[in-house]
Amino acid sequence: MTKDRNFTKIQELTYELRVRDAMIADVVTVSPKQAIHNLRDVMREKHISGVPVVDEGRVVGLISIEDYIRCLAQGEMDVIIERRMTRDAETLYADEPLVHAVRKFEQYGFGRFPVIERNGQKLVGIITKGNIIKCLLRKLEVEYHEEEIHHYRASHIFEDIVADKTNLVLKYEIAGKDFDRAGQSASRLKKTLHRLGIRPEIVRRIAIVAFEAEINIIVFTDGGRLTVSVCSDRITIGASDNGPGIPDTEQAMQPSFSTAPDWIREMGFGAGMGLCNIRNCADEMSLASQIGKGTNLEVVIYLNGNEADKDVRRQNEAS
Amino acid sequence: MKLKDIVERLHLESATPRCGLDREVSGGYASDLLSDVMANSREGNVWVTLQVHQNIIAVASLKELSGIIIVNGRKAEQEVLAKAEQEDIPVMLTGLQTFEIAGRLCEIGIRGNTK
């Protein structure tokens, strides 16, 4: 019942990875005509507790240390393997997803499964639970490392680029009336800013600005774009469209003022809060609109400013 | 309190089996207006709403909410649930109304955000 995020990630990996990725290809085998006593050296030297029995490349059975011990107790050391092995051994195909292997281990409770090619049925490897765990850990480590690299590379961009001033511009196209993809640009922007190493509380404010601006473009226009400019000290978010324009921008900024039609309101949009939310997150905000031409919104958020600076700036603007 | 405790104690139906429920809930927020949730919910909040369209997932993901409880026995489309799993936002269902579920959340110790 307890499922945490890592468990989900591992589940995902077991679908992605193949049995081939986790198996051991260098597999020790015995032939059916060998005598049981041969197993002693094979198992002791290789530290293994079960061996596929192979005849002309095909798996004909499986013999384990338990079988060996039983024969030892019965004094059957000279009996040939064929007569004491488990026939019809369960096998896995090399190209099966790893999750099939996991299920098979749960289902049968065996320690190992021989792995065969789908075409030709030849033995190509062997897999144990230990192999699966090792393979998953290796894959998790690689993925974790890759995300670290993404994060590292991106967050050092401003230090690595040699210039008097660096300005990174990100553009996101927004299709009008496309409610299914609403919020997607804001999500992509958020992920990018996170990778750039921008502080989480700043990213949160920018995400709100971008989301509300995106929704406005989707609800009221036939499309537009977000242009986000990242400098070392500030992020500027521009939202522009060629839509119908806003007749009275002062009025549009009033809390709860909305011109959204009912069907938009039913979806939970159009509460008249969008521009207010933007203003509350912005250090600077300007809204310019021309009827029939379109609307341009520009918001500046300072990267190093704290809330106190923001208040001071607001007071300065007001005075 | 963890999300899985809430699911158990309030008998919620989890609609996104691939999302883990082993996450801490910082509090609760109930609203059907997306901008209101954008403005006033906090990271880790569990969000109670009757909206069932895809945009709730975008909002929850942007605000890093711990999960969404959909009320009144409403069901989200398969597409919405797939998106939720992709964004790792657990969606839970209840037959109760917003007022009732919010009250029960408070009863078991989940609080609203104080200003």
State residue A1's pLDDT score. Answer: 38
State residue A5's pLDDT score. Answer: 44
Query: Please, which pLDDT band fits residue B29 given cuts at 50, 70 and 90?
Result: very high
Q: Mark which residues 163-192 of A lie under 8 Å from B by CB.
A: 179-180, 182-184, 186-187, 190
Mean pLDDT of all residues in A179-199: 89
Query: With 50 as the cut, is the pLDDT of residue B60 above it?
Result: yes
Fold of B3-107: 3.40.1390
Please write the tens of the pLDDT for every residue from A144-175: 887 777 777 777 777 777 888 888 999 999 99
CA atoms within 13 A on the CB side of A50: 17
In this structure, which CATH number among 1.10.357.10, 3.10.450.200, 3.10.580.10, 3.20.20.70 belongs to the domain A5-135? 3.10.580.10
Pairing of strands B91-93, B67-70: parallel
ipTM for the complex shown: 0.81
Contact A212 B63 (CB under 8 A): no
Please, what is the average pLDDT of chain A?
A: 87
What is the CATH superfamily name and number for domain A161-318? Answer: Histidine kinase-like ATPase, C-terminal domain (3.30.565.10)
Q: Write down the domain spans for chain B.
A: 3-107
Comparing A5-135 with A161-318, is the CATH topology the same? no
Please write the tens of the pLDDT for every residue from A2-48: 444 445 677 778 878 899 999 999 899 999 999 999 998 888 888 88
Mean pLDDT of all residues in A81-96: 90
Which residue among B36, B43, B53 places its CB closest to the CB of A273?
A: B36
State residue A315's pLDDT score. Answer: 54
State residue A34's pLDDT score. Answer: 93
CA distances from A265 to A59, A203, A211, A310 (A): 66, 27, 16, 32
CB pairs under 8 A between A and B: 87
Contact B55 A277 (CB under 8 A): no
Q: Write down the domain spans for chain A.
A: 5-135, 161-318
Please write the tens of the pLDDT for every residue from A207-254: 999 999 999 999 999 999 999 999 988 999 999 999 999 999 999 999
State residue A16's pLDDT score. Answer: 80
Cα separation of B72 and B34, whole Å?
A: 18
Determine the 3-state secondary structure of A175 from DSSP.
strand
Cα separation of A151 and A158, whole Å?
A: 13
Angle between helices A184-195 and B55-62 (to 10 degrees): 20
